[in-house]
A and B are shown apart, each in its own frame.
Chain A
Amino acid sequence: MGRSSSDRIEKGDAPSARPPRPGISWVWVPLLPFFLFAIAFLLVPSISIVYRSFQGPQGQFTFGNFVELFQRSDLIRAYRNSLSISFITAIAGGVFGFLLVYAVILGGLPRGLRVFLMTFSGVASNFAGVPLAFAFISTLGRVGLLTSLLSSVLGFDLYRSGFSIYNIWGLSLVYMYFQFPLMVLVMAPALDGLRREWREASQILGATGPAYWRYVALPVLLPSILGAMILLFGNSFGAYATAYAFTGSNLSLVTIAISAQIRGDVLYNPGLGNALAFGMVIVMGVTMLGYSYMQRKASRWLR
Chain B
Amino acid sequence: MRRAGVWAWLLFGLGMIYFFLPLIASFLFSLRKLQDRLSFEAYRLVFSDPGFAYSFGSSLRWAAFTIVISLLLVVPTVYWVHLRAPRFRPIVEFITLMPFVVPAVVLAFGLIRAYARPPLMLTSSPAILVGAYVVLSLPYMFRAVDNGLRAIDVRTLTEAAQSLGAGWVTVLWRVIFPNLRVALLSGMFLTFAIVVGEYTFAALLAWPAFGPYVVLTFQSKAYEAVALSTLSFGLTWASIGVIQWLGRGGPGQAQVAGAR
Contact = CB atoms under 8 A, between A and B. Distances in A.
Interface string B83-105: 11111100010010110111111
B240 A235 contact: no
A41 B134 contact: yes
B24, B134, B237 interface centre (most CB from chain A within 10 Å): B237
Given A108-B3, A123-B237, A130-B211, A238 B86 contact: no
Contact of A41 (B4, B92, B131, B162): B131
A235 B260 contact: yes
A250 interface: no
Interface string B140-169: 000000000000000100010010000000
Interface stretch (B49-57, B60-68, B74-82, B175-183): B74-82
Interface extent on A, as a size class? 35 or more
B236 interface: yes
Contacts of A127: 233, 236
Interface string B3-24: 1110111011001001101111
A11 B30 CA distance: 60
Does more than half of chain B's interface fall in helix, strand or loop, or is it mixed?
A: helix
A240 B108 CA distance: 12
A97 B251 CA distance: 22
Contacts, number: 276
Contact of B135 (A11, A41, A118, A273): A41
B85 A31 contact: yes
B103 A238 contact: yes
A16 B155 CA distance: 9
Interface in A109-157: 109-110, 113, 117-120, 122-132, 134-139, 144-146
A229 interface: no
B232 A130 contact: yes
Given A41-B131, A241-B200, A145 B255 contact: no
A113 B19 CA distance: 14
Interface of B: 1-5, 7-9, 11-12, 15, 18-19, 21-26, 28-30, 73-74, 76-77, 80-81, 83-88, 92, 95, 97-98, 100-114, 131-132, 134-135, 155, 159, 162, 190, 193-194, 197-200, 203-204, 211, 214-215, 218, 225-226, 229-230, 232-233, 236-237, 240-241, 243-244, 252, 254-260
12 contacts: A14-B155, A49-B113, A103-B7, A107-B8, A108-B1, A134-B226, A135-B229, A178-B260, A237-B103, A240-B105, A241-B260, A262-B105
Interface of A: 11-14, 16-17, 27-28, 30-31, 33-35, 37-38, 40-42, 44-46, 48-49, 52, 96, 99-100, 103-104, 107-110, 113, 117-120, 122-132, 134-139, 144-146, 176-178, 180, 182, 185-186, 188-189, 231, 234-242, 244-245, 255, 258-259, 261-263, 270, 273-274, 277, 280-281, 284-285, 288
